A and B are shown apart, each in its own frame.
Chain A
Amino acid sequence: MMAWLQHQKHALTSSLRRLAAQPVATLLTALAMGVAISLPGGLYLVLGNLNQLAGNLPAQPEISVFLDADISKAQQQAIAARLKQADIAHARHVPKDEALAALSASQDLSDITAGLTQNPLPDAWVAQPQDTSRESLARVSDELKKLPGVAETHLDSQWADRLQAALAIGRTGVWVLAGLFAIALLAISGNAIRAQVLSRRDEIHVSRLIGATNRYIRRPFLYLGALQGLLGGMAAGGVLAIAGWMLHAPVENLASLYGSAFQLLPPSITEIVLVLGLTTIFGWLGAWISVNRTLSQVEATR
């Protein structure tokens, strides 16, 4: 047990010393890893921010119910009664004159409404259903549409649904990208470790002759791979932090033009720890594959 700890300590310090002894190579490898990781990482952050944006929008989806122009009094009352039922949280009647007035009030359309000889708009209700799931919205909307005197219903939540669907594609994309770049990470780590093994063949050969086990020889390279993965993860954090810092002002500027207080969200501590952990594991894994392959080649040439 003591010997095992002694070995781990020895391997870790010798790996650290080796990284410090080759700062340029270490930095380049970390940067290559950092750039590779920052692509899926960046996409993930962008999606998180878009999701936040979608969440900030008026969450209550509304159903607009447009009435026939020649609707009877009895039909009107039946519709009003239906909209008072339990599955409707809130309903508001919008007479056509009020709708026209609202339209005239908005700058761009006042010219058009001024030229109208009569009000082309129908009377309408705006209803907020109790249950806002997509299926239930569609069902209520369909049901209202079938009432006599209703010309048309319109679901205002459609674009939010589309955004959610687009975000879902984006999320799948993050996983695909993350998978691809995990492979890239393995390759970068494996390549760096291979160079290390080849540059230390003499040491490996001598160590074998004086009783080193496979594990003893492998261990410092595995630590090296893991440390390099960790550095790569930190480099990715650096790349994303710089990108976030550069985007910060323009995004807030754009948000303020839309009258929103939207701000870029940084990743959470859990997410940072998770990414660093994963890059460390993949660095280690790349080293493991590479060191086993390269060692057998090195020994075969003796």
Chain B
Amino acid sequence: MIHFSQVTKRYPGGHEALSGVNLSIEQGELVFLTGHSGAGKSTLLKLIAAIERPTSGSLTVSGQNISRLPSRAVPYLRRNIGLVFQDHKLLFDRSAIENVVLPLDIAGFDRRESLKRARAVIDKVGLLNREKANPISLSGGEQQRLCIARALVSRPALLLADEPTGNLDAGYAADIMSMFRDFHRVGTTLLIATHDDRAISALGGRILQLDHGKIEAPSA
């Protein structure tokens, strides 16, 4: 599903975030991406979602070559990828359910159908009684679950999560991780950047260790 071949990413100013990365992730895999901060975990996720473009090398996602993808095709690529952010990136000018409905609005779904689907996903992450609340009134763990609901509402084949439990205490983190395990079981491909070792050992799955922009151990 995802293939990196000799991918290098150099930011303007010369900092090389990834150097010569080779990597393959198959459909339905659960993969953890670990490493110290600044090792290139976020950059790797950004490349897959075409938020950044590789400086050299070739990267294909769902059969599409990211290096050569025209920018007008990028939105359609992203509609098949669910993104979970450490800082949630929720919009505080609308209710929880409106945040979750946004990807479906963007894809042009019928409004009533969208709301039905959004409510089902919100139920799955355990926030159904808070659907009308403004996300700013939710706790950190609840905000993260809402962000996951938004990432999953369009039923993407691939979920990318960047430090999804980074700001949460252990109880909430375990919650979130067990949620990810459920999605993995129904066939979603998951790529999770984290340095939460307990979560990794609880879920199993492949571990990729990044060190200064290089893959240390291709599998574990």
Contact = CB atoms under 8 A, between A and B. Distances in A.
Interface centre among B105, B109, B110 (most CB of A within 10 A): B105
A210 B51 contact: no
**Chain A interface mostly:** helix
B108 A211 contact: no
B107 A211 contact: yes
B151 to A, nearest CB: 8
B110 A210 contact: no
Interface centre among A7, A203, A212 (most CB of B within 10 A): A212
Contact of A206 (B72, B91, B111): B91
B145 interface: no
B83 interface: yes
B79 interface: yes
A210 B72 contact: no
Contacts of B83: 209-210
A3 interface: yes
Interface residues of A, number: 19
Contacts of B75: 208, 211-213, 216
Contact of A211 (B79, B93, B109): B79
Given A209-B78, A210-B150, A10 B111 contact: yes
Interface string A1-31: 0111011001000000000000000000000
A207 interface: yes
B106 A216 contact: yes
Contacts of B103: 210-211
A2 B112 CA distance: 14
Given A209-B51, A210-B150, A211-B78, A6 B72 contact: no
B18 interface: no
A211 B76 contact: yes
A206 B93 CA distance: 13
Interface in A202-227: 202-203, 205-214, 216
A244 B107 CA distance: 50
A214 B76 CA distance: 12
Given A202-B91, A206-B91, A206-B102, A213 B72 contact: yes
Contact of A212 (B51, B106, B109, B154): B106
Contacts of A202: 89, 91
A207 B102 contact: yes
Nearest to B79: A211
Given A206-B89, A211-B79, A7 B108 contact: yes
Contacts of A10: 105, 111
A203 B91 contact: yes
B89 A209 contact: yes
A14 to B, nearest CB: 9
A11 to B, nearest CB: 10
Contacts of B91: 202-203, 206
A106 B18 CA distance: 104
B154 to A, nearest CB: 8
Nearest to B93: A203
A207 B106 contact: yes
Contacts of A3: 107-109
Given A202-B91, A203-B91, A203-B93, A210 B108 contact: no
Interface string A175-216: 000000000000000000000000000110111111111101
Interface string B56-80: 0000000000000000100111110
Nearest to A209: B83
Nearest to B51: A209
A213 B108 CA distance: 11
Interface of B: 49, 51, 72, 75-79, 83, 89-91, 93, 102-103, 105-111, 150, 154
5 contacts: A3-B107, A202-B91, A206-B90, A209-B51, A210-B102
